[in-house]
Every structure is written in structure tokens, then in C-alpha cells.
Chains A and B, each alone.
Chain A
Amino acid sequence: MPKPMEEYRVKDLNPGNVIDEPGNAQVYHTGDWKSQRPVWNEQKCIKCGVCWNYCPDNAIMRKEGGYFVADYEYCKGCGICAHECITQCITMVEEVV
């Protein structure tokens, strides 16, 4: 698995910065980027899966009972799920650190 970026020295880099370890992007937690997080109102959710389908980061999962939840380690808070949601059951809530 890769080191944190700030630990790499010039000599540690592959020529052309080729990444020869498939799938190692998962150690990079892009969820740090978000300023808003999606929150589902399960009273209004019809379990259609449009949010899951549209998420560009595959960061939405179906949980027990058929409702949806975001993996906040990877969710960048882009808001596409909230925009696409048919019943408008997703609200983007300000991320408080």
C-alpha cells in the first residue's frame, strides 16, 4: 500500500509516476474534501436506488431494509444524489469538523 504523499522522495517515484499497484486509490480518503454531506429522510425515501446509480464515486451503499447510506470516507459531498433524488428525500447538510 502507498505511503502518505508527503513522504515520497524523488527517488521513490516510478518513471512517469506509473502506479503499478492496482486499486490503491482506496487508501486515499477523498471524503476529506467535502463541505456538505448527504442525509436521507427515510420517511420520504422510496428505495428506488437513483442516488446509488448516479453517485460518481460509488460511495453510496444499500443498507439493511433497502434504504441507502453514503460512505463518508469517500463521499466528496458533490450533491449529485440530492439533485437526482426523485422524492427529494436527500438534504445536503453542512459538514462540521
Chain B
Amino acid sequence: MGKRIGMEVSLMVSEAVKLADVDVIAAYPITPQTHIVEHLSELVADGHLDAEYICVESEHSAMSACAGSSGTGARTYTATSSQGLQLMSEILYIVSAMRLPIVMTVVNRTLSAPLSIWNDHSDIMANRDCGWIMIFAESGQESFDQTLCAFKIAEDRRVSLPVIVNMDGFILSHVIEPYQPVEEEVVRKFLPPFDPLYTLHPDKPVTMGAFAMPELFTETKMAHEIAIRESYAIIREVWDEWGKLTGRRYVPVEEYMTEGADTVFVTMGSYGELGMEVVDRLRAQGKNVGLVKIRLFRPFPYQDILASLSQFKNLLIVDRALSVGGVGGPLTSEIKTALYRLEKRPNVFSFIAGLSGRDVPPEKFIEMYEEAMEGIKKNQWDEFTMVGVRQ
């Protein structure tokens, strides 16, 4: 292991892509993803990375080029944010159903309108059903680690699915954090060359992406569903292997200070680090509070979520997106669905915070806790709360 250094998180992700020795990058720059692809473009131009960098005219074209590239058997990477992800949306569904193991970083940013460049999860939540594996990184180092793990997960023949690694825009992407490099030989052993099941090659012609009549479509969707469900075991295998190599261990649902806790915050992404700080403060005041961090969003780890969350009385779920006209936060909705099968269900408090990068300091989490405790006293609370909204 090399020396720990400070590095901008976007550059850590670019370094991971370089270490993965990708063959093709097709990307269109958009804030706050820009630094990742700018740096990759430099690495290719300066000869540090032997890859084809395709400058496309839109994100729709970026993902289309990735589909073709991955179909030929090239290790393929792209990155985007917000409106860019929306423009890709059509092709996202296509590459996952075609089982093309593309890796993409989504640097999470708000969807317009109003126009905003800052962070929340509305971009990825708008595409949550696109059939990709989805992971949420909590820190800079994890963004690096998950990028490398993503290639191994995606390309495993038992999986053969594309993977999105989500990282919070600006909060992670533009921040300088400690970075523990991993040696090239370690990555070489961890991530063997891409050996695809099928490739587009005239010597052995195949058709990818053919049409299907209604008589066949239902079976193809079920096959996709089974594949992504079964990827869970391989994701755990890959994370365990990475843990043995680096000492950094990842699980789909991670608990922090939950022993003896009756109330837990439930977070996804960079809120995990904030949550730990808040829990430390509340524990110091003698409050029985813990934290549960959801790292794997697709496949949704129902069993792990049930096993963890059924232990507690009160869940304070913090979403970074609003399902407008729905029932509050998308993460909360899914967790509530998972809890339905329990006979004794915990109280669920749904908080929507940090929209469009509005600052969420530890004090806001403490306010959420106090609001929930007040609600329990009165035995009455709202379906969801827009944290800090001026009414």
C-alpha cells in the first residue's frame, strides 16, 4: 500500500478508471461530473491510459456509443449528472436489458426546474427502475473503491449487468479527501481482463438487441429480474475480496452504533458520514441513537434491510429527493414496502433534506431527531417533512 495523500474525489475516480485499464470512454461533460472526464481525457491524451476517448455531442450519444463499444467486448466507462442522465435515460434501459456491463459514475445533481447545479438524488431516483445495479458511495475513498469493484461485479459472467456508482455532487466530487492508493499489480489480480459471453464479431455473428413480441417480452423481463436479484451474492463476494486486499470492507446495509439503540437514522450516500458525527453527539448526550447506511440500492437488499431495521422502534429516514405528488421520499417508500411484511412495524419518520445542495449541518439532523421525539409524545406526525422549508 502506498502513502495516503490528499486528492480531489473526482480525480480519485479517474485514477480508478485508469487502474481498471478501460478500453473505451464515451462521455459528455456536465457539472458536477466534469472533473472526472476532463482528467480522463488528459490521461488518454498524455498517453497514460491506452483507451479510446470518444467526444460525443450529447449524453444520449454517450450511452449509445457505450452500448456499441461494450457489445464488441471493450471495457467501457462513462460518467454523467442530472440532465445528462435524463438524456441518457432511453439507452439506460436498453443496455441493462441487453446485459452490457458498462460502468458509470453518476455524480448526483438536482433535476431542473428551477435550474440548479447542486446536489440531490432526484437524477438517479428518476431512473431507479432502469435495471442497472446501483451503489451509493459515502466518501471519496469509497468512490474510488466502488468504481474498481463495479467493473468486477459488472463483468462477472454470472452478473453481466451495468453498474452505476452514485456519489454526491460537490459534497464528494469537488472535495479534497484522504486517498489511499492501490498498487497496479493488486488491481491486475483483482480485476482480470474483460472476457464477455458474446461479442459483435463477424467470425461468430450474433444479433444483440433484437425485438420481441408480447409472447416473449414477459419472460425477458423476468430473466432480467432474476439476473439482478442473483447479482447480490456476487456483489458481496467482490466486496469481501476487496476487503481482504485493502482492509476496507463494504456490506449492502451497514450499521453504526446501533447497539441498544431504539432510534436510528437511515441514510444513503454522503449523509452516512454526517450521520456518524450526529450519532456520536447524541450518544454523548445519552440518547440511544444509531445509524443504518444503505449502500446497495439495486438490487434492493430487502432481507438485510428487514434484518437490520426490524430491531428498532423508530426509523428516521433521510431522503435527498422528493417524489412529487407521491408519498414523500423514494427511499422511504421502498423501505416502508419492505417493512410491510413485519407484524410489529417500527415508526417511520420521513425527512426530505438537502434538496439542490441546501446545506444540512449536524444541527439539522438533531432537529429531525427532536421533531420525531415530539411526534412520538403526541402520537402524531406527518407522512413526510420537508426539512427547513419556509411556509
**A residues lining the B interface (CB < 8 Å):** 5-6, 8-10, 13-20, 22
Contact = CB atoms under 8 A, between A and B. Distances in A.
B140 to A, nearest CB: 34
Contacts of A5: 212-213, 215-216
Interface in B177-191: none
B215 A18 contact: no
B206 A19 contact: yes
5 closest A-B pairs by beta carbon, nearest first, are A16-B99, A19-B207, A5-B215, A16-B98, A22-B205
Contact of A18 (B208, B212, B216, B222): B208
A15 B227 contact: yes
Contacts of A20: 198, 204, 206
B172 interface: no
A20 B207 CA distance: 7
21 contacts: A8-B216, A10-B219, A10-B226, A13-B223, A14-B198, A15-B197, A15-B198, A15-B223, A16-B98, A16-B208, A17-B98, A17-B210, A17-B220, A18-B197, A18-B206, A18-B208, A19-B207, A20-B206, A22-B205, A22-B206, A22-B207
Contacts of A17: 97-98, 210, 212, 220, 223
Contact of B219 (A8, A16, A19): A8
B160 A16 contact: yes
A18 B198 contact: yes
A19 B210 CA distance: 8
B62 interface: no
A87 B294 CA distance: 70
B264 to A, nearest CB: 38
A16 B207 contact: no
Contacts of B210: 17, 19
Nearest to B216: A5
Contacts of B198: 14-16, 18, 20
Given A16-B208, A22-B207, 14 more contacts: A5-B213, A10-B219, A10-B222, A10-B223, A13-B220, A15-B99, A15-B198, A15-B223, A17-B98, A17-B210, A17-B212, A19-B207, A20-B206, A22-B205
B218 to A, nearest CB: 9
Contacts of A14: 198
Given A10-B222, A10-B223, A10-B226, A16 B215 contact: no
Contacts of B206: 18-20, 22
A22 B219 CA distance: 22
Contacts of A8: 216, 219
Contacts of A19: 206-207, 210
